[in-house]
Amino acid sequence: MKKADNARRRETLDIAMRVVSGAASLIGIFFLGWILWTVARQGLAAFNIDFFTELPAPPGVEGGGLANAIAGTAIITLLATLMGVPLGLFTGVYLSEFGKSTRFGGMVRFTMNITMGVPSIIVGLFVYTLLVLPFKHFSAYAGAVALAIIMLPVVARTTEDMLNLVPNALRESALAIGMPRWRMIIAILFRAARSGLLTGILLAVARVSGETAPLLFTAMSSPYWMKGLAEPTANLTVTIFNYAMSPFDDWKQLAWGASLFIMATVLGVNILARTLLRERTK
Amino acid sequence: MTRFHEYLSEHFETIFRWFTILCAGTVLLIMAGMFINLAWNARLAIGEFGLGFLWSDAWDPALNEYGAFSSIYGTLVSTLIAMAIAVPMSVVIALFLVELAHPTVSKVVGSAIELLAAIPSIIYGMWGLFVFAPIMAETVQPFLQETLGLEKVPGLGRLFTGAPMGIGMLTAGLILALMILPFISAVMRDVFAMVPPVVKESAYGMGSTTWEVTHKVTLRYGIQGIIGACFLGLGRALGETMAVTFVIGNAHRISPSLYDAGNSIASTLANEFAEASEPIYLHSLIYLGLVLLVMTFFIQLAAQWWVARLKKSMGAGL
User: CB distance B27–A152 less than 8 Å?
Assistant: yes
Q: Among residues of chain B, what percentage have pLDDT more than 70? A: 98
Beta bridge partners of B66: B59
Please report, for chain A, the start and end positions of each structural domain, with discontinuous segments joined by +. Answer: 2-46, 49-281
Chain A: nearest CA to B292, how far in angstroms?
A: 8
- pLDDT of B11 reads 83
Residue B315: pLDDT over 60: no
Helices (H), B42-157: 43-49, 69-95, 103-118, 121-127, 133-135, 141-142
Using the Cβ of B135 and the Cβ atoms of chain A, whether some distance falls under 8 Å is answered with: no
User: CB distance A125–B286 less than 8 Å?
Assistant: yes
- pLDDT of B28 reads 95
Which band of pLDDT confidence, cut at 50, 70 and 90, is reported for residue B216?
confident
Residue B84: pLDDT over 60: yes
Between A22-36, A123-137, A183-197, the lowest mean confidence (pLDDT) is in A22-36
In this predicted model, what pLDDT tens digit does every residue of A215-274 receive, in sequence order?
999 988 888 888 888 888 889 999 999 998 888 888 888 999 999 999 999 999 999 988
Q: CB–CB of B175/B124 below 8 Å?
A: yes
User: CA B33 to CA B11: how far, in whole Å?
Assistant: 32
- In this prediction the ipTM stands at 0.90
Chain A: nearest CA to B282, how far in angstroms?
A: 11
Which band of pLDDT confidence, cut at 50, 70 and 90, is reported for residue A280?
low
Chain B residues with beta carbon closer than 8 angstroms to that of A88: 23
DSSP string, A66-127: -HHHHHHHHHHHHHHHHHHHHHHHHHHHIIIIISTTSHHHHHHHHHHHHHHTS-HHHHHHHH
What's B10's DSSP letter?
Answer: H
Chain A: nearest CA to B127, how far in angstroms?
A: 7
Which band of pLDDT confidence, cut at 50, 70 and 90, is reported for residue B4?
confident
Label residue A100 exposed, middle or buried (CB < 10 Å: 0-12, 13-18, 19+): middle
Which helix (H) or strand (E) covers residue B60, if one does? strand B59-60
Q: Identify the CATH number of the domain defined by range A49-281.
A: 1.10.3720.10
Beta bridge partners of A20: none
What's B51's DSSP letter?
Answer: G
User: CA A221 to CA A225: how far, in whole Å?
Assistant: 11
Which band of pLDDT confidence, cut at 50, 70 and 90, is reported for residue B195?
confident
On average, the pLDDT of chain A sits at 89
The pTM for the full model equals 0.91
The shortest CB-CB distance from B38 to any of A11, A125, A182 is to A125
Q: Which of residues 207-246 of B touch A (CB under 8 A)?
A: 209-212, 214-215, 232, 235-236, 238-242, 245-246
What is the mean pLDDT of the segment spanning A78-95?
95
Which band of pLDDT confidence, cut at 50, 70 and 90, is reported for residue B314?
low
Which band of pLDDT confidence, cut at 50, 70 and 90, is reported for residue B252?
confident
In one-letter notation, the amino acid at residue A61 is: V
Residue B39: pLDDT over 50: yes
- pLDDT of A49 reads 86
Residue B249 Rama label (left phi>0; alpha psi -120 to 50; beta): left
Residue A59: pLDDT over 80: no
Q: Do the strands B59-60 and B65-66 form a parallel or antiparallel pair, or are they unpaired?
A: antiparallel
CA B189 vs. chain centroid, Å, equals: 18
What is the mean pLDDT of the segment spanning A57-62?
76
